[in-house]
Structure 1
Amino acid sequence: MATYAIGDIQGCREHLERLLESIRFDPAKDIIWFVGDLVNRGPDSLGVLRLVRNQLRERAICVIGNHDIHLMSVWSGHGRLKSSDTLRAILNADDADDLIDWLRHRPVMHLDEELGYAMTHAGVPPVWSVAEAQLRALELEEALRGGIAFEDLMDNIYGNLPTQWSDELTGYDRLRYITNAFTRMRFTDSSGRLLLRFKGSPNDAPKDHIPWFITRQRLRSRRDPIKLLTGHWSRLGLHNEAGLISIDTGCLWGASLTAVRLDDGSEQITRVDCSNLAG
């Protein structure tokens, strides 16, 4: 049995199918981890959801990304479609309710201690251990699955504040920070405060801000033995060091879609070219 993780697909169904062929995925025994953002901006978001939910089924482990949450928000009536969105086919589909209910029940974080990896979409903020992140992920998962009226949750989940974690945070402020940390984070300041408005490359970081995983390395006196696996940051690209492997390699932008093998210790990389999406 092989276990692979695949980077942000964002509606690029054809490239996902090609990548599954390239790694010789065996649906009878292999497992695929998806780092989130199954949907949006690519040409066939509906096809990606149906492939993962209806064909891969229990062989697929998916965490929730920011574009997945955006789809939930639009479906609930609180979010608005943007000019760059390609979600309308999902919203108009006969099985839309079933697909979004399935998406709502995906984890925010997936931990496999035996393999030694924890997967989230954007990362784990420097102020949390992996164990603490698990607890925070469960809070958001419970809310998404109906612990709070879904329409109210979607009406209050967006925004850039608060930027600093505190155990004293409550209500929507608490859930909003958790959501942003797991699905939107890229940069922090030296204390771990989130900077959410900037989406560029690490080389273009605003003054006094650095990638979250560098802050994490500096602030934590003990390195967690679990390696973090993320996507979300195409401008970072493939990155494998300091307890992190990030695999959003910009399929949507005409670069590549990446798979990494997790089960055998090799972290072997397989890519498919996505240049036909450029422009």
Structure 2
Amino acid sequence: MTKRSMSDVPFWSRLQPFVGTALAVVTIGVPLWLVLVTASKSRGEALNPDLSLPGHWQLMDNLREVWADGEVAAAFFGSLLIVVPVVTGVLIVGSMASWILARRATRLNAVLYALAISGIVLPPAVVTVVLLLRQLGLAGSAVGMIGVYMGIYMSTVIFFVTGFVRTIPASLEEAAQIDGAGPIMVFWRVVLPMLRPVLATATILVCLYVWNDVFYAFFVIGGRIDTLPLNLFRVASAGLYLNNWHLIFSYVILMSLPLIVVFAIAQRRIISGITSGAVK
């Protein structure tokens, strides 16, 4: 059997890698380049943001100015106050629920699983959520915001983790039960350690959603707690960064840098977790 020559390969098949690369450069590379060069310009050069190079690179000066005048440190800790409990809560509760839904194949659990993952496509009613939080006395509080985010993104965790649990041999759990381990011990000692790839994926995805969210935070906590997106909205609306696009884009870089670093480090684990949990 002879190998196919390049002339036998359809023209479109040879062109696909170049088209894919070009689309990635246009849709991802161009916006990133715009942010970088604008954040590196002076105020005069950045009045009309474009893709041109700055006359003098002053990215570090702009970042220092934003850090000092934009109250970034306080907003950073405000974001951590929301993100850390949300991620911890959805991972623990979601993984435990996923384990039960994956192992007990009953009609009731099938219905519960469908309801659980329906949150991926059904948007929450913001007005109803805000009114409910007011009735509970949680409006404008970190606890209320954490509860809203957990309710929104629990579906994502259950979707990925349930599919991953189904790939784990049940015989491992049965062996632990024979040795006298109870359900809680089986989950913490046997199941949970094997969920690390998919939990890493879920961690990054939930962090991305919550860290960059301004819509729900604006309506639920209403600026009573400063997160990075809310703080950027506040200082820009107050006129501190009015027409100062170099400072706005510098703030965006500071806000995005932690997640970019984490995503770059965990990229392989993210891909393996998505393919194992969603495809298998």
Q: Which has the higher contact order (CA 8 A, sep 6+)?
A: 2
Higher helix share: 2
TM-score of the superposed pair, with normalisation by structure 1: 0.22
- Rg bigger for which structure? 2
TM-score of the superposed pair, with normalisation by structure 2: 0.22
Higher strand share: 1
